[in-house]
Structure formats: C-alpha cells, structure tokens
Chains A and B, each alone.
Chain A
Amino acid sequence: MEKLRYYIALWAAKLSIVALKITKRNGTNFPGVVALKICPKFLKYVDKPKKIIGVTGTNGKTTVCNLAIDMFKADGTVILDNSMGSNINSGISTSFIKGVNLFGKCKYEQALIEIDERSAPVLFPYFAPDLLVINNLTRDSIMRNAHPEFIGRLLTEELPKTTKLLINADDLIAVGIAPENERKYFGIHRMDTDVKECINLINDMQICPKCNSILEYEALRYHHIGKAVCSSCGFKSPACDYEAFDVDTDKMTVTIKDAEGPYTYRLLNDSVFNIYNVVSVVSLFRELGYSQERIAELLGKIEIVKSRFSEEEVGHYTIVRQMSKDKNALGASRAFDYVSGRPGDKELILMMNCLGDTHHWSENVCWLYDADFELLNKENIKNIIVTGPRAKDYYLRLKLAGVADEKISFVEKELDAPKALKLQKDESIYVFYGTDSIVLANRVIDNVKKEIAERGEK
C-alpha cells in the first residue's frame, strides 16, 4: 500500500513539473510538496543516486555547493543537485523526483545535496549521505534554530552512523557533532589577522567541552572560529587532514597541505568566510579522489556566485549589493566586518528587515543585540541610512554602538533611502538587504543610480 502511495505521489509530482513548465511558474519546491503531501515517507521510497554527498552548517553551505557544482560541471561530471530548490525536505524531494524516470528509476550516479541542518529529523531517517561536509554551526534564527549547541545535538541524534563527516576543525561546536562517526577535518593554520581574544558579541564556545574551564584561543578568526586549547585538561582543537597555510590575499592564493603535501589553489574572494569555503570544497574534492592538480585546474575555471555580493561602477561611485541573511546576527556581523575593513569612504543603507514577518507579526529584534553593529563605528563609514519597518530599532542599536548622530540618517520608506545619501565622489555605497528584500533591494539600487545621475555627478 505504501509503495502504491509512493508511485501515485511520484506521478502527481512529475505531472506538477509539466504543469509548472506550461504555466511558466517557478515553484521550485512544489513537486516535492505534492509528493510529501500524498506520501509522507516519499524520501524513503524514492530511488536515489548510489553516492550522496551532503553539505550542511549554518553559513556558507550554498556557496560551497555552488562552487562544487560548478567544479563538477567544469570536470564534465554529471551530478544531481538541489541548487534550484530549497535545502529542506520539499526541495530535496523535488531534486530526487527530477532524478528519477516515470518508473522511479534513478538516472544519476551521484548527488550533491545542500542540507538545512534543522531539517535533519525529517531527512536522515530516509537517506544517509555517504559524505557530509559541515562548515560551521553558529547562531541563526532565534525562533527556529535556538542556539548552535541545540543544532549540534539534533545532528548528533539524527545522523546515520554510516555517514562519514568532513568537518571544519576550527569550529569546536561542529567538531562535537556525532563523535562516533568516521571523520576528517579541514581548517586554516594561521592568518595574519588572527587574534587571541574575541571581539565579537557572539562567542558560543568559551568553555572547554570536556572540563568546562575557560578555553584559550591560540588563534581566533571571529566568534568561536579558531584554534583553542584548554590549559586545565589539555583538550584542544583537532589536527587537520586538510590544512590551509599561506593565505595570500594579494595574490589571491591559498596553500593547502594534505597527506600528499602542500599545493597552492586560487582564492575566489578575500573574506575569511569565503577562504573557509574554498578550503572546504578543496577538501571535499580530495576526499572524492580528485588530484590536487585537477582541483586547482577546476577552481581556476569558476567564479563565486554574485547574487550575495556584487559591485557595480556608476560614474564616480561604486554600488555594492551586500546580502545579509534575515535575523542572522552572525551573518550580519561577518558582513559588517568585511565591509568596514574595505578601503575607501562609504555610505551604507541598512534594510535587512524581515519583510515576511511584517505581514503577520512584528520581527523579533533580539538578533540586533547579538550582531556587532560596533564594527560600523568606523571613520571611513560616513553615513548609515536606516530604513524600513525596523528602522527605529536600527537607529537605537547604532546609537548604542557608539555611532555619532550625524552619521545616522533615518528614512521611513526603503525606496526613499537613496535621497539621504551624501554622495561624496569616489565613495562606495553598500546596500545591506535580507533574503526577504531581494526585489525591493533592486528597486532601491535603481533609485541610488537615479540619485547619482541627478546629484552625484554635479
């Protein structure tokens, strides 16, 4: 009976794909939603590729997956992925539906699946990744994800014992996941920018996981990401199987040492966050048996996805799109850190309001008090425009961060925000927006261009 239900679900979902194509609708999750509605255990029965690689973690999993997919394409390797859908059960079901024919036979040998870490309980009972990359576990949505220790516990309880893990050794919360599973580690040895004391508001690994004494960081990148040691019990960050040395952001290269020795690869972006993404994808391909030379060659052929960060020269100005995931304090802090550290004068438009929440309730703004707005209190940030439903909260938070009153502009409506730009020649204008505001951000950027045309070139 269950099997019959599965086939009905499969055919209904396949039919929905045709219907979406005919009606030219996007609905990337819809086939999976249909299938799961008819057969809740659809993921159990659907025929899957022989080898499944998963990528999970709080931040960077989409970038890592996109890099890996581009590298597989450049290599001529056909792989099933969920880049067109979501990373929860409906999106992953949609990918598997596309991967099978009408008789339910899978057409792919391998799959690369981005996995939402919170969805583990509805995924792992039905399929076991052969290899799972875990980038990091950090704070995310307070409402959905609570805190990283909770997500770590969830993954430990749900992960199949057969799944081999490839973990960021510089994240001790991730290191603590599923201790019985076979694993390898990647990480970054030392960077010139390393510190010993955390300057961030969020640091979720301050005590030793073994003896609860205060941990010391020999090299700290940000938040709890770095190399720690406990002077009380001797606990320390694990040794890396794939360890990055000699990060050179001038030449945009990184050397990664593994069992075969060091090899130098191209970096695609100079932010530490993205350097970890490259180290993670190189480690993944090494685990899949690719040679160092071939990985370097494949990395040379690809570009980082531009949807999250892209810049455009408009006259004497540079307009930068800076996506910062809604309600994600750590993501915002990383973006603030990166932007504030870039050279040149700049103006910022902050519009990471969770517009989805605005429709039915009022956004929980606790995350603003976990995010390092203090990083925006820099001499070369000349004007910060706060706008949208939570503009008053941003205004107060910036005041608490020590930003001078004359550097904060309050504009109620996002589309009017560009009017408050001061437009000093040769500066950069950063528009911070969340996943709910992509379309609105495009319209704001159009208005920035209009302001530049009308005022900026005079």
Chain B
Amino acid sequence: MKIEVLFPEICNLYGDLFNVNYLKDCLPEAEIVNTSLSDEPLFVTEKPALIYMGTTTERGQELAIEALSKYKDRLQQCIDENVNFLITGNAMEIFFEEIFEAGEKVCDGLGILPFVAKREKRNRFNSLYVGDFDAGLEEPLKIVGFKSLFGFAYGDNSNCALFETLRGDGLNKDVKGEGIRINHFFATHITGPLLVLNPTFTKWYMEEMMGVENAALAFEDAAMDAYNLRVAEYTDPGTGIYY
C-alpha cells in the first residue's frame, strides 16, 4: 500500500503532515512516497492508496499549481476513478479555478473544482470547527478541528460538502457545508492533524476508503480520550468558536 505525499517540502504547515505520520503508525506496512516539486508524481503511473497534500504558504500554492498543471488531466482521471485524495487546509484551493487576494486575482488554480478562493492580505480567520460526517452509519461521525486561514472559498458545495457544520464556518461564512467530496476526493479547509484528532473518522476512512479490514488505530485509547474531551468542549455552547 503506497501513500503519496505531494510536495512535503512546502505543504507542511500547522502539523498537517501528522495526518500521514498517524496513518503510518496505524498501517505500519504502508509505504510513504514523498513527491517533490521537481519529481514526476506517483499518481501519474500508479494509483496510490491515498494521495495527500497539506497546508502551504501562499507562494507554495502557486508552486504546487505550477508543478501539477501538466498532470491536470491525470488528476481528473484519478478523481473519476475513485482514487483516494485527502487534501487539507489551503491546499484545497490549488484545485480551484482561481485564487484572489484583496479583490485581485493572484493566479489560476488547476481548474478541477468549480470554486474560487478569496483571501485577505493580512487578516486571519481563526476558529474551532465541529461538524458531522455522514459515514452511512446510524449516527453521523462528529468531526472536530481548527481553521486558520486568510479567507474562504466560494462556489456551490450544497451537493458535495464533505462535512455539515454544527459550529464554525462552512466553505464560507454563509454556508454550512464544509469542504468538498467528489467520489473519493476529500478536501477540507480544516488545518492540522485532522486524522489524529478524529479517530472515529480515521478508522472509517482506513476501512471504507482504503480498504483495510478491521483497521486498528494507533494509540486508540489516548486518541479517543483526547477526541471525546474535544467533542465535549466544542459542542458546549459556552466554548467560543471564533478566536
């Protein structure tokens, strides 16, 4: 099983790479393939068990777009053929049509997703996040995390949201749907170690998306303890959501 990490030399902010580190702890047999900006990605010739890309700088977004633009058709094919993608933080915007800063267009994105990113130059939008993930079970899985971004995403994700927001912002302040889910392409603005902080989701993801039978979570007790406390805190109306 190969997990491809796109551009870890630049897409590595806010502890995002622990999503992959944690999967490696859970799946010791998994091979992590780090793809640099100048490398030909693994997904060009193979179908990795997962393609991961994490939060980057604003310049990093442009470099990633430049590096991936020649593989746009192959990326689209991978999405159509249900290859697993997990894209966190502002890496999601790399797949958008355009990125704007302070009202001015910064660059074209890959144009794979019909969305645009609009960011401010200096203001940060910081919040906690709690939402539901429909895993097809009786009850949705609670998702907790953090958002720390310069802006929001715009476009219609009413039929393709990854999470349904309970507290915090969705794709932007006006919608409840958070992130984008198309086939096995999962993208979210949530930053940081999403999989470490959400062990119930991680177990579901390994079993249902990655096809691991009876997947075991690494340090399950400790992860569940921290998760249960966080869910209790974030769903408590007394806990502020915005920083």
Q: Which residues of A contact B (CB under 8 A)?
A: 121, 142-144, 146-147, 149-150, 154, 201, 203, 206-207, 212-214, 329, 357, 360-362, 364-370, 392-393, 395-396, 399-400
Q: Is B128 in contact with A361, judged by CB distance below 8 angstroms?
A: yes
> Whole-angstrom distance between the alpha carbons of A212 and B7 in the complex?
12
> Whole-angstrom distance between the alpha carbons of A266 and B233 in the complex?
50
Q: Which residues of B contact A (CB under 8 A)?
A: 9-10, 12-18, 21-22, 25, 36-38, 57-59, 63, 122, 124, 126, 128, 146, 148, 150, 191-193, 196-197, 218-219, 222-223, 225-226, 229-230, 233-234, 239-243
What are 8 pairs between A and B in contact, CB < 8 Å? A142-B13, A147-B57, A201-B15, A214-B36, A364-B126, A366-B14, A396-B222, A400-B22
> Whole-angstrom distance between the alpha carbons of A146 and B18 in the complex?
18
Inter-chain contacts of B229 with A (CB < 8 A):
392
Which residue of chain A has its CB nearest to the CB of B56?
A: A147
Q: Is A364 in contact with B226, judged by CB distance below 8 angstroms?
A: no
**Of B12, B36, B58, B222, which is in contact with the most chain A CB atoms at under 10 Å from its CB?**
B222
Q: Is B37 in contact with A362, judged by CB distance below 8 angstroms?
A: no
Inter-chain contacts of A201 with B (CB < 8 A):
15, 17
Q: Is B148 in contact with A142, judged by CB distance below 8 angstroms?
A: yes
Task: Pick from B25, B58, B122, B225: contact of A400, CB below 8 A.
Answer: B25
> Whole-angstrom distance between the alpha carbons of A154 and B150 in the complex?
14
Q: Is B148 in contact with A143, judged by CB distance below 8 angstroms?
A: yes
Q: Is A121 in contact with B122, judged by CB distance below 8 angstroms?
A: yes
Inter-chain contacts of A362 with B (CB < 8 A):
128, 230, 233-234, 239
Which residue of chain B has its CB nearest to the CB of A329?
A: B15
Inter-chain contacts of A360 with B (CB < 8 A):
240
**A223 CB to closest chain B CB, in angstroms?**
12
Q: Is B124 in contact with A399, judged by CB distance below 8 angstroms?
A: no
Q: Is A142 in contact with B18, judged by CB distance below 8 angstroms?
A: no
Q: Is B219 in contact with A399, judged by CB distance below 8 angstroms?
A: yes
Q: Is A150 in contact with B57, judged by CB distance below 8 angstroms?
A: yes
> Whole-angstrom distance between the alpha carbons of A310 and B58 in the complex?
40
Q: A206-B9, A395-B225 given; name 15 further pairs at CB < 8 Å.
A: A143-B148, A207-B9, A212-B38, A213-B38, A214-B36, A357-B243, A361-B242, A361-B243, A362-B239, A365-B192, A366-B146, A392-B225, A396-B196, A396-B223, A400-B25
**A355 CB to closest chain B CB, in angstroms?**
15
Inter-chain contacts of B226 with A (CB < 8 A):
392-393, 395-396
**Of A121, A142, A214, which is in contact with the most chain B CB atoms at under 10 Å from its CB?**
A142
**B80 CB to closest chain A CB, in angstroms?**
30
**A156 CB to closest chain B CB, in angstroms?**
13
> Whole-angstrom distance between the alpha carbons of A121 and B219 in the complex?
45
Which residue of chain B has its CB nearest to the CB of A399?
A: B219
